[in-house]
Structure 1
Amino acid sequence: MSEAFTDELLAQVAALPALPGVYRYFDAGGALLYVGKARNLKKRVSSYFHKNHGGTRTGLMVAKIARLETTVVRSEAEALLLENNLIKTLNPRYNILFRDDKSYPYLLITGVAARDGEAGAPAGQRFPRMAYYRGAVDKRARYFGPYPSAWAVKETIQLLQKVFRLRVCEDTVFANRTRPCLLYQIKRCTGPCVGLVSPEAYAVDVAHAEAMLRGETQTLLGTLEARMMAHAEKLEFEQAAELRNQMAALSRVLHQQAVDTGSDKDVDILAVQVQGGRACVNLAMVRGGRHLGDRAYFPVHVEDASALAVELDEPDGAARTVEVQVLEAFIAQHYLHVPVPPSLIVSAPVGQELVDVLSEQSGQRVGAVHSPRGQRRTWLEMAQQNAAIQLARLLAEEGSQQARTRALAEALELEPDDLDGLRIECFDISHTAGEATQASCVVFQQHRMQSGEYRRYNIEGVTGGDDYAAMRQVLTRRYSKLAEALRQAGGAAPAGTARMPDLVLVDGGRGQVAMAREVFTELGLPLSLIVGVEKGEGRKVGLEELVFADGREKVYLGRDSAALMLVAQIRDEAHRFAITGMRARRAKVRVGGSRLEEVPGVGPKKRARLLQRFGGVRGVAAASVDDLVTVDGISRELAEEIYRALR
């Protein structure tokens, strides 16, 4: 086996220390193959190079290794954290990877410092508000969550409004009200904006809302009952009736929860299902004693990574099942940047080392239960059922997409080396009467849309409404550099560069195709790649025809054709991507958003906070310097600069 490797690589392996660390394998083109951790780097890495792995997946991977990098760390815990950080960042070919999802939403309660006695605080902070929040946390507020969905946050806010009647309005709205809003009329707010509740009484409601969010419902009910009886003994029947109504509302809310958690407050339930080379991890969340719903995650590289782990014996001599590998990969990657609750309920046993790392990282004791009883078993069974349903749905969708890809390849006589690698790029032009013209390019590969590779192009220097000139510009900008690289490399794409797609779709008929043909002829690219999607009679969906740049006759695939369904899906996505970009650019031009961007010291984050707080550039322009200063990160000097720039 060792004859296949360079002397330099083998010498590097021989010189490795017997210490914990992380290793990374690269192929000859510099692509990352695998990231692994080891208690003993020398022993672990040497096992790859001094064993005969034959034609296994491990053997195929090892044969590609051209370069090795290692990082020595102080402990196995550090090695585990670094390994999963690198996996998420670098996306190696032979590791199980969970794609980054958008950040989890939280329920935010503002003005904590003011409630704790900060002198001179604005009224908006003395009367904290509830809000839906997604983003970086701020020590001046309290965050409850994370929640699995925006719906779960908004439902919780509505429940708290019914019981504790806290405000949800923005501070700028709160500061300028002269009479209570509709929420006060329907008993969803106590009207702090116009002084209908004292700061002290409002602070009590805020404290009770936080207690409910923490799951202290029985203690809360006891507190409310004691206060109600105290008011009744003092003959303060109106206050006692208010508390009675609050207790009744709270009891109704608790009764409406279909899944009661009993004594548990914060728990995550993790169930994994594996089938057909794909896997699904279903994460259900319990926060503050309420089951908030679940979310499904689908890792990539499952087959390669699981086969690799099985072929390489684990350090203790026993190979883990695929389910355990997937679950441990999810836990390690998911909780890198998400708070971990004190209790995890898992469908497969996970290593104690991983649980210890979570405890060390979070600063609290974390436990993982594999065979729960009672209510916890019910939760786990629900999560397992949901994981099975979601995985079955994914497999059905992927089977359908693969059939569509195959149908299109056969209909257009495409012959890709690998059907999974069939790459289609589609272009569309969007504008409104020639204003804010923008072109979009969307990419289809691996039987799905690759949103991370989408691109928008601002079209400049053409007559407004000239779609042909816009198509010429975007195709030239997209493919000119690639065409030059192909010429210099003799027709083969150089390593590490993009490759030409197998099909270039343009949204349009003969005119657009003719323009694309001119561009490709000038660049020396094959005309057979270009296909136009021409709308049929009456522009009805399902009657589209395909127009070819290389002289072939137009083709109508048929309304029920799987190939046409795929073409329509890609074309519609290009249109959606183009029109959303065009609208955003047009709105920016019309409201003068560029003026805010040009203010020194206002970067993307501060600009986003300003626009969110005041509802757009017009709102920012109408705000006073004192209002601008209330935005996080805006000093008085910068607020004055913004005020001058927008006036």
Structure 2
Amino acid sequence: MSNPSLELQLKTLPNQPGVYQYYDKNGKILYVGKAKNLKKRVSSYFTKQHDSGRTRVLVKKISEIRHIVVNSETDALLLENNLIKKHQPRYNVMLKDDKSYPWICVKNERFPRVFSTRNVIRDGSDYFGPYTSMKTVRTLLGLIKGLYHIRTCNYNLSEEKIEAGKYKVCLEYHLGNCKGPCEGLESEASYHGNINAIKEILKGNFKDSLNAFKEQMKDYAEQMQFEDAQRIKEKIDILSNYQAKSTVVNPTISNVDVFSIVSDESYAYINFLQLSYGSIIRSHTLEVKKKLDETDEELLELAATEIRQRFHSQSKEVYVPLEIDLGEAVKVTVPKLGDKRKILDLSLRNAKFHRLEQLKQVKITDPDRHTDRLMAQMKVDLRLNKEPRHIECFDNSNIQGSNPVAACVVFKDGKPSKKEYRHFNIKTVDGPNDFASMEEVVFRRYRRLMEEDESLPELIIIDGGKGQLSSALKSLDRLGLRKKIAIVGIAKRLEELFYPDDPIPLYLDKKSETLKVIQQLRNEAHRFGIKHHRNKRSKSAIQNELENIPGVGEKTIVQLMKKFKSVKRLSNASLEEISSEIGVSRAEKILAYFKGK
């Protein structure tokens, strides 16, 4: 390290939990991080060899280190999150949304109103949320309106004004949606009983309301008031139906937050489910752009802290797929089996679906970003030194040794570049020898590219197993390209990928984008090779038949095929039509041949 000031700062850092901040020479904040041990964590930036180019650049820019010591890891986690939101450093992952979320407000009034809002006013009112979807809010408000008679007016229903007869009941009263507290037709105690039940439903607790309705229905039935009993039964059905739709796990799992993560080279997707009384009362997925090759554990810790703050979660337990540290006050569980594992799998499925939706949208709206992400992913999946922007795939085609040909297809940035496809007629191999044929075409292809000073691919794919791969390697060795171009073979049966000098094949996830690109390359090479093989066999069959006619040579055959396109049309042509192309003498010989046949 060439900066004496930084060396001194590193030596004097405490071995305590805290938050560190990196600044550049202009005093601009670059990065904020947390640590269980400040000295060890910060020193690691300057003593380790970093694989990430962005991390190396960050370290070069650091001119000053500041730190804040805290009492616990929980405090460090919360302080880190707040500093990131406040300063928005360039090298930190940003967890933010551009929208405000809706809440359901139970207003602090004598006869409380229940309504949706995006503004939280600290006036003693109860706020439930925030909700990630306005559709959820409307569904809940509709449910509440169908179950309980609460007012929708904005009147100030003070005791004095009601006694003075200041208000009159409105249409809602006559429709049966309100019991008329504005005229003193409903007591405050009765109204607040409904409000307390509504609050429990908004918390996800349906049990108390269902039991209360069942008791009411029973009482009405005993009193022979069957219409009222039927009305209460309809409310029970409404509430039970809503509960059935929202209950996805064991009802004993209550007040738990669930987090899962799906990530690739550039982005991570963190899903959050909040459970109350066995029901999912909230679901939200964040997309996070990676900055410094952050691990899934680091991103999950940061996202869980931010999301719990944003949605004001008071849950004392979280379910996650990885061991993370959220402080002493929160119990972190990594479920392996049972209902807990099922709810974690549900969260993971939500994260995967969100990622797929985003990828589809990006593919349409920002194809360059899609390509960059795909190339970065292929580099990692296939263990390459650089991104495979230019890929070539070879396939042999022969049937019982007849007309052996090979095909080479070219993909640029993960897409076919059809103008660069090439066919090869096998010249130096007799009979059906796939290995020797592969060696020939690979040698011819790259000898020509080198002679013409054309760009070489970053990756070669050989359609075949170890034998074809070994043959292709011989050609690369002869050309001195063995260390310059990565090469793999793909076997058809189980989609194994074979690497040079590695006896154990690589198996990619059957749903991975990398495997899909490789399969597309292989299928395209096969299609292109078969097409050429068929054309060659067809042309060969025609020529062989016409060459049996005495006095008819190759040039005459080509001339006739240009005119008549097929042997069948030629055989049905008249003497005049044929003789106009090749003369009467040869035309008579051709007609005599077909007549004798």
Asked if 1:153 corresponds to 2:137, the answer is yes
Asked if 1:171 corresponds to 2:144, the answer is no
Deviation at 1:231, TM superposition (A): 6.7
Amino acid at match of 1:304: L
Aligned partner of 1:128 in structure 2 is 112
Asked if 1:79 corresponds to 2:105, the answer is no
Deviation at 1:163, TM superposition (A): 0.8
Conserved 8 A contact 1:87-1:95:
yes
Rate the CA distance shift 1:17–1:203 in 2: closer, same or farther, 3 A.
closer
Aligned partner of 1:304 in structure 2 is 292
Aligned partner of 2:12 in structure 1 is 15
Amino acid at match of 2:334: H
* Distance across 2 between alignment mates of 1:197 and 1:270: 45
Conserved 8 A contact 1:164-1:205:
yes
Conserved 8 A contact 1:108-1:144:
yes
* Distance across 2 between alignment mates of 1:289 and 1:194: 40
Matching residue within 55, 63, 71 for 1:66:
63
* Distance across 1 between alignment mates of 2:50 and 2:315: 41
* Distance across 2 between alignment mates of 1:101 and 1:242: 48
Percent sequence identity over aligned pairs? 28
* Distance across 1 between alignment mates of 2:13 and 2:297: 29
Matching residue within 246, 265, 281 for 1:259:
246
Q: Compute the TM-score of the two structures, normalised by the length of structure 1.
A: 0.50
Matching residue within 259, 264, 271 for 1:270:
259
SS at match of 1:258: helix
Asked if 1:398 corresponds to 2:362, the answer is yes
Deviation at 1:50, TM superposition (A): 3.8
Aligned partner of 1:587 in structure 2 is none
Aligned partner of 1:342 in structure 2 is 315
Asked if 1:246 corresponds to 2:227, the answer is no
Aligned-residue RMSD, C-alpha: 3.3
Amino acid at match of 1:180: C
Deviation at 1:298, TM superposition (A): 0.9
SS at match of 1:284: strand
* Distance across 2 between alignment mates of 1:199 and 1:14: 68
Aligned partner of 2:93 in structure 1 is 96
* Distance across 2 between alignment mates of 1:38 and 1:140: 38
Matching residue within 352, 362, 369 for 1:388:
352
- Deviations 1:380-417 (CA, angstroms, capped at 9, x unpaired): 3333222112212223333434448999xxxxxxxxxx
What does 1:70-469 align with in structure 2 at a 5 Å threshold?
70-111=67-108, 125-138=109-122, 140-171=124-155, 177-181=167-171, 183-226=172-215, 229=218, 235=223, 242=228, 245-256=231-242, 257-261=244-248, 262-287=251-276, 289-292=278-281, 294-300=283-289, 302-306=290-294, 322-342=295-315, 346-351=319-324, 353-356=325-328, 359=329, 366-371=330-335, 373-403=337-367
SS at match of 1:354: coil
- Deviations 1:489-509 (CA, angstroms, capped at 9, x unpaired): xxxxxxxxxxxxxxxxxxxxx
Rate the CA distance shift 1:383–1:171 in 2: closer, same or farther, 3 A.
farther
- Deviations 1:192-217 (CA, angstroms, capped at 9, x unpaired): 33444232322222222223333443
Amino acid at match of 1:253: L
* Distance across 1 between alignment mates of 2:120 and 2:136: 19
- Deviations 1:324-378 (CA, angstroms, capped at 9, x unpaired): 2221110122223432242655442232x4152xx3xxxxxx4443326555444
Deviation at 1:295, TM superposition (A): 2.3
SS at match of 1:329: helix
Q: Which structure 1 segments of 5+ residues have no match?
A: 112-124, 307-321, 360-365, 408-647
Amino acid at match of 1:354: L
* Distance across 2 between alignment mates of 1:22 and 1:294: 30
Conserved 8 A contact 2:256-2:316:
yes
SS at match of 1:190: coil
Aligned partner of 2:574 in structure 1 is none
What does 1:607-646 align with in structure 2 at a 5 Å threshold?
none
Deviation at 1:232, TM superposition (A): 6.6
Conserved 8 A contact 1:104-1:146:
yes
Q: Compute the TM-score of the two structures, normalised by the length of structure 2.
A: 0.54
Rate the CA distance shift 1:210–1:247 in 2: closer, same or farther, 3 A.
farther
Conserved 8 A contact 2:214-2:236:
no
Amino acid at match of 1:369: T
* Distance across 1 between alignment mates of 2:300 and 2:285: 13
